[in-house]
Chains A and B, each alone.
Chain A
Amino acid sequence: MIRFALGRLASLTASLIVASIVIFAVVEVIPGDPAAFMLGVNARPDTIAALRAEMGLDEPLVSRYAAWVGGMVQGNFGVSWTYKTPVATLIADRIWVSLPLAIYALTLSTLVAFPAGIYAASRRGGAGDTAIMGATQLGVAIPNFWFAMILVLIFAINLRWFSAGGFPGWADPWAALKALTLPAIALALPQAAILARVMRSSLLDMLGEDFIRTARAKGLTRRQALWRHALRNALIPVLTIIGLQFSFLLAGAIIIEQVFFLPGLGRLIFQAISARDLIVVESVVMLLVFTVIMVNFIVDLTYAAVDPRLRARA
């Protein structure tokens, strides 16, 4: 197990180094001078030059890359050019929206998808299975920003149960959770649909395996075999999907954050890209890459915990 973990750790480090180079290179070649953008159309060339110097943009690329990576290793992400605030502070503020939102959405989707998928698998071909599979088709097909607008229309504008958007902060946890509820539901719906389908098909695959037939032959009912033997083995593809979904929810909620004007990481990146706040874009994207790689690492370790054969193979 330890050798397996160490091997994964080495490839993780290599991925991070490559990612940092790619991110830096891509962000730096985007056309558009940050200083000229900040000063607008009436700025004089000497003013722009003064600002470029102040922002350190006149330094060579290599030394700026070294400064950026060197800073990050020590936990210093630099200072945002437009906000004039440390990037770490910006991220820390936003992560308290994005992370709880991702966890909330993932919890909702798992709570819906697991029972639905297991139920559908156990009633294969029955009316319940058909209904659930029909519903998941719809769930996958509906774009989440459209679903979000419908939720706002019903629950914020007509019923007035929720605000249409914004985030009051965690000082009042109940209000904060309430503000995240509609966005979490909007994000969870397509995820739940996908997860339920994976859960069902993975379980059905397992139910066709020899060891299930053996279990049934030893006298277990179909349901007992499903719960005691098939489910555990069916979890591996489901875990993979959950890992991917978590990374997606953390980084990919940009549109939902726009619809609900939530101060999350997605909106931060969006604003930073249009303002050419390169240092923020680089650091936040790097952090997200780091998170995705870490989540995958943890998922890999979980596989190994669930399936001992994977440990041996490493």
Chain B
Amino acid sequence: MHHFKRLAASTAVVLCASGALAQDSITVAIQLEPPNLDPTSGAAQAIDSVLYANVFEGLTRFDADGAIIRGLAQSWDISEDGLTYTFNLAAGVTFHDGTTMDAEDVKFSLDRARAEDSTNAQKALFADIAEVTVIDPLIVQVTLSQPNGMFLFNMAWGDAVIVAPESIDTIATNPVGTGPFTFADWVQGDRLELTRNENYWGAAPALESATFRFISDPTAAFAAMMAEDVDVFVGFPAPENLPQFEADPRFQVLNGNTEGETILAMNNKVAPFDNPLVRRAVTHAIDRQAIIDGAMFGQGTPIGTHFAPHNPDYVDLLANSQFDPALSRSLLAEAGLADGFTTTLKLPPPSYARRGGEIIASQLREVGIETEITNLEWAQWIEEVFTNKDFGLSIVSHTEPMDINIYANPDYYFQYDNADFRAVLDELNATTDPAGRSALLAQAQTIISEDYVNAYLFQLGVATVARAEITGLWVNQPTAAVDLTGVSWGN
């Protein structure tokens, strides 16, 4: 008995000291702070990282593997012609402010996103919607102007979440959604807190509360993890420190993939990159593994086209652009540039671009291509490279899921203009049967690989460092998200 008392007392002390509070709350760090909390306007990924699946939900959603699963829509029927989608909404769903979520809210959200004055950063997702009709409070019908095989996928994006007219005016600072966590507090610059939604319509999450912190400095990130100030770091910014965490029994490291195809973009309308021979020469001059090892500390998977390797429809086209400097030089000679040429290489801030850029510059120098490197901030990059198309080469990771369609837009910054490719994509959009879609996607990947539009480098990896006891974290990032629904402290 005496023994038992002492044991109980010491257990109590331990629980008070650290355990009890820590077991149902979690501190998650990500690199960037969301600029505001409205996922339906503004492109910042950090907004989705914090809120997607936690606070806001859409009709459909991405699961941890990137598959499209049910969200607020529990089932749907698609008409024969592929033009009418009838969604059956989950019953008994309320927003965090207590108001009911029904078909009117769905209509409001979709109409708002596609409106004339909409500031939705992904307005193209809603472009094919002709009309949204409320059938009854739990049934909503969406009519498309043309068949769109991507429609359910589009509705899973963070930009397509369902919001309420009652709370829309203050959404940027006080987000009100239907998700398993409610927004509690945001100390701008420092942390954002979520608490469990006790009235959640679906399965209740294990965590009582979650705190997000924003740490972009690699050294600070390392220190915060090591000092156990944060429990999870999604998108750990210092890949060079990962082996140290892997060796430490207190931590686990999850190496996942993202939807980020990292490319060396070439300006297809500007000489000498308007010549396919030159573009091909550039791709053969590049040793992808050297870039992955040197710039990313081994994090990343080589790609031979603009498509995610973990997608079942991926076609391995690496053979089209093997590292072969001799071939590269002879292609340049064939293009009449035996003496090489000089071009610009404009780099946005992420380390894949800044570190990768130095390696690519030296690899290109080997075949006679000199680059003038300019480091740009994102805002400058968007203006100079993306909007004004004033560049020769640039490195950027295209993080939107399934974005091969950017090659169908001749005004897109790398200015690829191929009517055959556009025809394939038009057919793809109109096709809903899976086998037909796979064949068309393979065809699309092959065209852009054989046209050497850009030099496809690698699929961007993402490392999550977490305390060893934590389970249920997403390994991959099919969309920017830190989905806490299934996360818990082990047993």
Contact = CB atoms under 8 A, between A and B. Distances in A.
Interface in A102-145: none
Contact-residue bracket for chain A? 35 or more
Given A33-B379, A38-B42, A44 B123 contact: yes
Contact of A157 (B117, B214, B227, B400): B227
B433 interface: no
B379 A32 contact: yes
A41 B386 contact: yes
A47 B379 contact: no
A263 B190 contact: yes
Nearest to A54: B119
Contact of B33 (A38, A149, A271): A271
B216 interface: yes
A83 B188 CA distance: 9
Contacts of A40: 42-44, 121, 382
Contacts of A43: 43, 121-123
A203 B224 CA distance: 44
B387 interface: yes
Interface string B29-66: 00001011010011110000000000000000000000
Interface in A270-300: 271, 273-277
Contacts of A47: 118-121, 123
Nearest to B122: A42
A50 interface: yes
Given A264-B189, A276-B379, A164 B173 contact: no
Contact of B224 (A44, A165, A277): A165
Interface string B161-194: 0000000000011000000000000011111000
B213 A261 contact: yes
B223 A152 contact: yes
Interface centre among A36, A262, A264, A268 (most CB of B within 10 A): A36
Contacts of B400: 42
Interface residues of B, number: 48
Interface string A20-62: 0000000000111110111111111011001100100000000
A169 B214 contact: no
Interface string B94-126: 000000000000000000000011111111100
Contacts of B398: 41
Nearest to B38: A84
B342 interface: no
Contacts of A42: 43, 121-122, 124, 400
Given A42-B121, A165-B223, A31 B35 contact: no
A39 B220 contact: no
A76 interface: no
A254 to B, nearest CB: 11
Interface in B331-359: 349
A32 B189 contact: no
Nearest to A276: B379
Interface centre among A42, A44, A259, A262 (most CB of B within 10 A): A42
A33 B227 contact: no
Given A43-B43, A165-B223, A263 B188 contact: yes
A85 interface: yes
A205 interface: no
Given A85-B173, A157-B223, A169 B215 contact: no
Contacts of B172: 83-84
A261 B217 contact: yes
B343 to A, nearest CB: 20
B74 interface: no
Interface string B228-269: 010000000000000000000000000000000000000000
Given A31-B379, A37-B382, A164 B224 contact: yes
A42 B120 CA distance: 10
Contact of B219 (A160, A259, A274): A259
B226 interface: yes
Contact of A93 (B42, B44, B188): B188
Interface string B380-406: 101110110000000000101000000
Contact of B216 (A50, A90, A160, A258): A258
Nearest to A37: B379
A50 B117 contact: yes
B77 interface: no
B119 A50 contact: yes
A163 interface: yes
B324 interface: no
Q: Which 3 pairs from chain A and chain B are nearest by CB?
A: A40-B43, A32-B379, A263-B189
Interface of A: 30-34, 36-44, 46-47, 50-51, 54, 82-85, 90, 93-94, 149, 152-153, 156-157, 160, 163-167, 169, 258-264, 267-268, 271, 273-277
18 contacts: A32-B382, A36-B379, A40-B121, A41-B398, A44-B124, A50-B119, A51-B119, A85-B173, A85-B188, A94-B189, A157-B227, A164-B223, A165-B215, A165-B224, A259-B217, A261-B224, A262-B190, A275-B35
